[in-house]
Amino acid sequence: MSLFSLVFFSFAVALVCRAVPRAYRWSVLLTASMLFYLSESPAALPVLIIMSLWTWYCARKIGSANTPAPAGLSREEKKARRAAIRAVQKRWLTAGLCADFAVLAVFKYLNDVRVLVGASRLGILLPLGLSFYTFQITGYLLDVYGGKTKPEESPLRFLLFASFFPQLIQGPIARYDALAPQLREPKDLDMDGLVRAALLMLYGLMKKLVIADRLAPLVSAVFDGGSFGGAAALVGVLAYSAQQYCDFSGGIDLVTGAAELFGVRLAPNFRRPYFSVSLADFWRRWHISLGSWMRDYVFYPFALSRPVSRLSKRAGARFGQAIARTLPAAAGNLLVFLLVGLWHGASLNYIAWGLYNGLILAVSSVLEPAYKGWNERHAALSASSVFHVLRVVRTFAVVNIGWFFDRSAHPADAFRMIGSIAMRFAPQELTPTFFETAGMTAPDGMVLACALAVVFCVSLLGERGMDVRERIASLPYIPRLLLVLFACCSIVIFGVWGSGFDASAFIYNGF
C-alpha cells in the first residue's frame, strides 16, 4: 500500500466511521485494520491474531486468579492465599511473555544469529510491525499483572488495540490505558480537527518524500559504496542523521494524523530531539514510546531489584555513597541500551550502537554529582544562551558518532569512518561528480536545503513554545486553503517517486 493509498484509505475509513453509530465504530476500525494488514503482510496475519489472542487469554487468567477472599481467614491463611494467587498469576505472565518473545526471537533474530555463527539464512520474513505490537501487548500484560490495568473482556477489542492500522507501520508503542478507551467509541471529527490532521499528514509526507528519500542515495553511496575519506564520511553521517529523523518522524506524523481522523490521539514519539542538551535528554525526545517502555518495564524493575540494591550497598561501603547512589542508574542504562540495540536487530552494529549509548549514559550517571557541582559554581555561564547552544552542538556530535555504528554494516566500518575524519579528511573528494554519482544534483541540493530549513524553523518555533500546526489551522479559510494546496503541490513536484514507494519503505518498518 503506497503512502498516498494509506492516506486515502484512512480518509475512507473515517467516512465510514462517520456514517456508523458510535457504539459500532470500533468494529469498523478492527475490520479496516485486518484489511490493512492483509494487504501489507497477508502471510503474517495469523501471527498477529494468535499472539494477540494468547496475550488476551493470559491476561484474563491473571485477572481471574485474584478472586475475593472468603470471610474468617486468619492472617497466615490470607498470606498463604495471596502467595498462591501470585504464583498462579506469575505462571500466566511467564507463559504470555515467553510465547510473545519466542515468536519475536524466531522471526526477527534467528536469521541474524545464524549469520553470526556462519550458517545460511532461512526463508523467514519479518512480519509487519512485529517488534512494535509485541512490546505493546507485553506492556499490557505486565500492566495487568502489576494491577495497573484491568483485563480486557472482549478478545476482538483487544485485537483492535494490538492491530490499530495507523500505528502498525512503525508505532508508536501505545499503552493500553491510553489507547483502548479511545478505540472503544471513536469521536466525531469536526472541520478544524480534519484540517489539523491533514496538516500533520502533509508535513510528514514532506519530511519523508522530499527530504528522507532524497537523501537515501547519498547515504547509501557513502556507507555502502566503498572507502571514502573523512569529509565524505562526515557528509554521509550528517545526511543519515537527517534522513533517519525525517523518515521516522515523518512516518509518525503521518500515522498520528491518520489516527486523529478517528479522534484518536497517539502518544508522542518525537519532541525535537536535535535540540537536546545531553544524550539523556536526546533519549527523552527520540522514539519516546520505546524509551518509556524500557524505563517502566526494564530500567526501574532492574535498578530497584534486590541484587542491584545489594551490589549498590557493597559499592557504597567500598567506594562511597556517591557511587552507591549512581550505580543502579548506570547499570540500568547499560542494560536498557543493550536491549534497545537488540530491539533494532541482533547484528553487531546494533549491539555496538546500543552499548555506545549505554556506556555514555552510564558514565554520565556516575559523573552527575560533578556536573551538578560545576553548574552550581558557574551558574551564570551554565544558564547563558551561548552555553546552551554549545551543549546542543556537543549532544548532536555525540549522537552522530553513534549513528556511524547504527548505519554501518559492521562496527569495524564505523571505527574506520570515524578515524578517517581525524586522520584522512580528504575534502577534495567532495566534488560535483561525487554528489551527482550519489544522486544529489544541484537542483536536489536546493530543494533539500529549502525543505530542511522548513523543518528547522518549525522545530525551532516548537522549541520556543509555538504550535505551528495550530497557528496555521487558526488562519482564515482562504490563506489556510492556499497553504494546504501549496504543500500538496510541493510534495507532488519535489517528492521522490519510484520503486520502493510504499508503506514498507520506512526505515523503522524493518525493525
Q: Report the distance separating Cα 378 and Cα 105, nearest Å.
A: 49
pLDDT in the model for residue 34: 95
Instruction: Specify the pLDDT at position 179.
Output: 95
Q: Which three cell numbers stand for residue 312?
A: 549498590
Picking from 387, 407, 427, the residue at the C-terminal end of a domain is 407
What is residue 466's DSSP assignment?
-
Q: Which amino acid is it at 169?
A: I
Can you give the pLDDT of all 511 residues of the chain as single tens digits? 556 677 889 999 999 998 898 889 999 999 999 999 998 888 899 999 999 999 999 999 999 988 777 777 888 878 888 889 999 999 999 999 999 999 999 999 888 788 777 787 887 888 888 999 999 999 999 999 999 999 999 999 999 999 999 988 788 999 999 999 999 887 777 778 888 999 999 999 999 999 999 999 999 999 997 788 999 999 999 999 999 999 999 999 999 999 999 999 999 999 999 999 999 999 999 999 999 999 999 999 998 898 888 888 887 878 777 777 888 888 999 999 999 999 988 889 999 999 999 999 999 988 888 888 888 888 888 889 999 999 999 999 999 999 999 999 999 999 999 999 999 998 998 999 999 888 899 999 999 999 999 999 999 999 999 999 999 988 898 988 888 888 888 888 888 765 444 433 566 666 5
Q: Domain span at residue 83?
A: 3-187
Q: Is 316 inside a domain boundary?
A: yes
Count up the domains in the chain and report the number: 2
Nearest of 335, 444, 356 to residue 400 by alpha carbon: 356
Can you tell me the distance from the alpha carbon of 361 to that of 368, in angstroms, rounded to the nearest whole number? Answer: 10
Check whether residue 14 and residue 142 sit in a common domain.
yes
DSSP secondary structure string, 315-350?
HHHHH-HHHHHHHHHHHHHHHHHHHHHHHH-SSHHH
The answer to whether position 457 is within a domain reads no
Domain final position from 156, 187, 218: 187
Assess whether 174 and 39 both reside in one domain. Answer: yes
Q: Based on the fold, state whether residues 174 and 41 are members of the same structural domain.
A: yes
pLDDT of residue 498: 53
Angle between helices 176-184 and 155-163 in degrees, nearest 10: 110
In a domain, 204, yes or no: no
What is the model's pLDDT at position 371?
A: 84
* 376 assigned to some structural domain: yes
Together in a domain, 160 and 16: yes
Calpha distance 350→168 (Å, rounded): 22
Q: Is residue 229 included in any domain, yes or no?
A: no
Instruction: Give counts: helices (H), strands (E), the chain.
Output: 24, 0
Return the residue matching grid coordinates 494524523.
257
Same domain, 398 and 290: yes
Domain final position from 375, 407, 439:
407
494: left (phi over 0), alpha (psi -120 to 50) or beta: alpha
Task: Say yes or no: 32 and 178 in one domain.
Answer: yes
303 found inside a domain: yes
Q: Are residues 126 and 16 in the same domain?
A: yes
pLDDT value at residue 423? 92
Q: Among candidates 440, 407, 451, which has minimal Cα distance to 246?
A: 451
Report the pLDDT value the prediction gives residue 100, as an integer from 0 to 100. Answer: 97
pTM over 0.85: yes
Is residue 307 assigned to a domain?
A: yes
Residue 344 lies in a domain: yes
